Amino acid sequence: MAGWVIGSVICVLVALFSASSTIASSEGPFIVAHKKAKLTRLKSGSERVSVSIDVYNQGFATAYDVTLNDGGWTQDIFDIVSGNTSTSWERLDPGAVLSHSFELEAKTKTMFYGPPAVITFRVPTKASLQEAYSTPILPLDILADRPPEKKFEWAKRLLVKYGALISVVSIVVLFVYLVATPSKSSGAKGSKKKR
């Protein structure tokens, strides 16, 4: 009897321990980082790169001391215009999102392959610093040769976009005008008949 009770208690403890260990693995924070880079051609001949990074926490626990480091932008190609390639936050709660953006300027014509940004954070249950990587970005074609826009391309685009709407509205308006103004023609007809 006593042995049976002890055995069942041990089984329950083992089950709880295994359950807690599995829960602990999926209980931690899950950092999902989205990195976006947009190219804008300036009139001065240089290319401006706008980088924005969104950090989401899709886990079940808070991440502390979240540090973002996007050091992949080589110094000899890019110059920092505004913002900083690294930043840090105190905490990121589950379900929350943090954003960071900065701008760079590039003057040399090259094809740049950027590595993902690195995010480090701390978890209460583990002593070591946790690492997460953001999404990689597509290769950036800096100062690429763009073919000149053909003449009246903008007119063609407007026509394709709004041509149907304009024709529909004009048909309906003309129809209403034709139906609603019969007086002139009928008066002319009447005067003709009287002769």
Partner 1 sequence: MTIRVFLILSLLILSSSFLHVVRCDLDPDSEVVDSAEEGGDLGIVGEDAQDFGAGGSFSPAPGVETVSVFPRNPSKLVVAGEESELLVGIKNEGESYLNVIAIQATVHLPFDHQYLVQNLSAQAFNNASVPPSAQATFPYIFSISKFMQPGAFDFVGTIVYEIDQNPYQSTFYNGTIEVTEAGGLLSVESVFLFCLGIALLGLLGFWIRGRIQHFSKKTKRSPKVEVGTGTTDPSMDEWLQGTAYTQSVSSKSKKKK
Residues in contact with partner 1 by CB under 8 A are 25-26, 30-34, 54, 56, 58-59, 111, 113, 115-116, 128, 130-139, 159-160, 163-176, 178-180, 185
* Residue 106 token pair: 């590039």
Contacts of 116 by beta carbon, 8 Å cutoff, 6+ apart? 33, 35, 72, 133, 134, 135, 136, 137
Q: How far is the CB of 64 from partner 1 (least distance, A)?
A: 15
Q: Which is nearer to partner 1, 13 or 169 (CB)?
A: 169
Q: Which is nearer to partner 1, 42 or 179 (CB)?
A: 179
- Count Cβ atoms below 10 Å from residue 37 Cβ, excluding itself: 17
Q: How far is the CB of 195 from partner 1 (least distance, A)?
A: 17
Q: How far is the CB of 45 from partner 1 (least distance, A)?
A: 25
Q: Which is nearer to partner 1, 7 or 95 (CB)?
A: 95
Determine the Cα–Cα distance for residues 121 and 91; give it in Å rounded to an integer.
Answer: 9
Q: Which is nearer to partner 1, 25 or 44 (CB)?
A: 25
